[in-house]
Amino acid sequence: MNETQQWADGEEEALRYPLDRICVRSGILCPSCQRKVDTGIVKEYEIPIMKSLMEIEEEMKELRDQGEYIRSYKYDSFIVILIRGIENLEVLERLSKKLSSKLRARVRVINYSPEKKRIVEQLIYPATLLGVNTLWLPDGSEQTVIRISRQDQRFLAGKKKYLEEILSELLGRPVRIRFE
């Protein structure tokens, strides 16, 4: 989502969303919000995620006066939510746990950063990132290789496939995770 994206939300003391709060809460989208879903700016599966975030926002005062919802990525029962403006890791971790319970899925909420490396670090945490490299293939295409310590392989057990898919979508090119 680009910086010039108009946010439909008029409230100042809450997380900002790309759809109107009333539309998300009611489940009935106005023409403007429906257009955003139809054009792919917002995916259909993101609406219940935003609704859950709004409900949790009332409980967690730390979410007020800061941040905006950027996008969610879903792969099977694993969901990654990008939020801009909330850098407190404890708040993000508590939010992840509450959303996991509410959505009945594994959820990771991360603070959006324009730096690819920072997003990867948050997504693979508690594993240690050794590096992010670009691999140029003979056919002229590019692939990103995420290098992680072999000792931290246990932290990503069963998640490697999900993480590669989500990181590929996030970074806009194929991603492969390699343990060294």
Asked whether residue 163 carries a pLDDT value surpassing 90, the answer given is: no
pLDDT one-digit tens code per residue, 59-78: 887 776 677 888 998 888 88
Q: Are 124 and 148 in contact (CB under 8 A)?
A: yes
**What's the mean pLDDT when you consider all of the chain?**
84
Distance between CA 124 and CA 155 in Å, rounded?
A: 8
- CATH 3.30.300.20 maps onto the chain at 123-180
Q: How far is Cα 9 from Cα 141, in angstroms, rounded to an integer? A: 39
Q: Which of 99, 49, 78 is nearest to 160 (CA)?
A: 78
The structure tokens 């409980």 sit at 59
> What CA–CA distance (Å, rounded) separates 90 from 170?
23
> Where is 11: in which H helix or E strand?
none
N- to C-terminal Cα separation, the chain: 34
Domain covering 123-180 in this structure, CATH number: 3.30.300.20
Residue 27, number of CB atoms within 10 A of its CB: 9
Q: Which of 20-24, 100-104, 161-165 has the lowest mean pLDDT?
A: 161-165
Strands 175-179 and 142-148: parallel
Predicted TM-score of the model (pTM)? 0.80
Backbone angles phi, psi at 18, to 5 degrees: -75, -15
pLDDT over 50 (residue 18): yes
Alpha-carbon distance 10 to 12, whole Å? 6
